[in-house]
Amino acid sequence: MKTLLSLGHGYSARALGRRLLAQGWRVIGTTRTAEGARALAAEGVEARIWPGEDLPFAEATHLLSSIAPGPAGDPVLAAHRDAIAAARFEWVGYLSTVGVYGDHGGDWVDEETPLTPATARGRARVAAEAEWQAIPGLAPHIFRLAGIYGPGRGPFQKVIDGTARRIVKPGQVFSRIHVADIAAVLEASIAQPNPGRVYNVCDDEPAPPEDVLGFAAELLGLPVPPEVAYDEAAMSPMARSFYAESKRVSNARIKAELGVRLLYPDYRAGLSALAQEG
């Protein structure tokens, strides 16, 4: 039986897991809490609480890690590097971020662009990618994800409750990706592995964040949120760090090599579908 061991079986990994379970796969997923384990079990996932419980690397044919690095590096590899190196997987995937590219002033980047992260989180991801790639014989597929949205994760609630603000920083653009398209990319890679390959996972249209919020308000028939200049906006350090980088991320490789056709090629298609789903 095809068996996916999913480390950090969260929002994106669960979207993939549901597809694989429907095809008869066995899916083992980790979570940090008993409540999370119950939620995974309700979806048919064999839940493991980690850190804590043993992980069945030898039983898995496929391995996916979605766990972010910490100050000391990748926690999965710190605990289980030898077991991962000793296992024999048909496919290994690591979910990273387009933050590894840093700031490019709104210019385009692709998988061959040098990694020059502008934030501590981006630097940690570069180091984690290198840690996974350094394991002899593993050759993980690296997926650099853009900003993720989808059911339960999007701009609508802030627009509805009146807390949304259209923060304007001239020249600022972000790339995005609907969670269903992340699952489709991962599924396509599993079907045609290319060990060691790196893929950007994003839609076709990088866009200013204020445009996305404005469109969300229009879909809801609500007033467009007010504009706030970036220099005057009150933001958390985490939120402000996102604005330290502006780039347009190319998704040409997932189309050319994996044959992916995005369900939601831009934010308008994705948000319109979410609005219809309620």
pLDDT digits (tens, 9 = 90+) for 101-125: 999 999 999 999 999 998 889 999 9
pLDDT 10s digits, 200-255: 999 999 999 999 999 999 999 999 999 999 999 988 888 888 898 999 999 999 99
Q: How far is 171 from 272, CA to CA, in rounded Å?
A: 25
Give the CA distances from residue 14 to residues 31, 39, 40, 66, 182, in Å, rounded to whole numbers and listed in that order: 11, 11, 8, 11, 11
CATH number at residue 70: 3.40.50.720
Give me the residue label for tokens 């387009």.
98
For the entire predicted model, the pTM comes to: 0.96
pLDDT at 258 over 80: yes
Q: Report which DSSP code applies to 116.
A: -
Task: Give the residue among 186, 4, 174, 29 at the shortest CA–CA distance from 95.
Answer: 186
- Output the pLDDT for position 130: 97
Q: What phi and psi, each to the nearest 5 degrees, are found at residue 13? A: -65, -35
Please name every residue paired with 37 in a beta bridge, in sequence order, or none if there are none. none
- Report whether pLDDT(20) > 80: yes
Phi/psi at 89 (5° precision): -95, 145
Distance CA 88, CA 71 (A): 29
* 183, pLDDT greater than 90: yes
Residue 137: which domain range? Answer: 3-150+176-203+249-263
Q: How many domains does the chain have?
A: 1
Percentage of residues of the chain with pLDDT beyond 90: 91
Do 252 and 196 meet the contact criterion of CB atoms below 8 Å apart? no
**Alpha-carbon torsion, ordered 273, 276, 277, 278, to 10 deg:** 130
Mean pLDDT of 145-154: 95
pLDDT at 253: 98
In a domain, 68, yes or no: yes
Note whether 119 and 99 are within 8 A (CB): yes
Tokens representing residue 1 in the block: 């039986």
Residue type at 265 in one-letter notation:
P
Decide if 78 is inside a domain: yes
The closest of 66, 62, 67, 50 to 23, measured between CA atoms, is 62
Q: What is the mean pLDDT of the chain?
A: 96
Q: Are 267 and 207 in contact (CB under 8 A)?
A: yes
In-domain check, residue 23: yes
Q: Considering the domain boundaries, does residue 234 fall inside one?
A: no
Q: How would you class 178 by CB atoms within 10 Å of its CB: exposed for 0-12, middle for 13-18, buried for 19 or more?
A: buried
Is the residue at 243 inside a domain? Answer: no
The pLDDT of residue 107: 97
Residue from 124, 17, 120, 131 nearest 79 by CA? 131
Kindly state whether residue 229 falls inside one of the protein's structural domains.
no
Q: Is residue 273 part of a domain?
A: no
For residue 278, pLDDT beyond 80? no
Q: Cα dihedral sign for 76, 80, 82, 83?
A: negative
Please indicate, yes or no, if residue 186 is contained in any of the structural domains: yes
Q: What is the mean pLDDT of residues 78-83?
A: 97
Q: How many residues does the chain have?
A: 278
Is the predicted pLDDT of residue 72 greater than 80, yes or no? Answer: yes
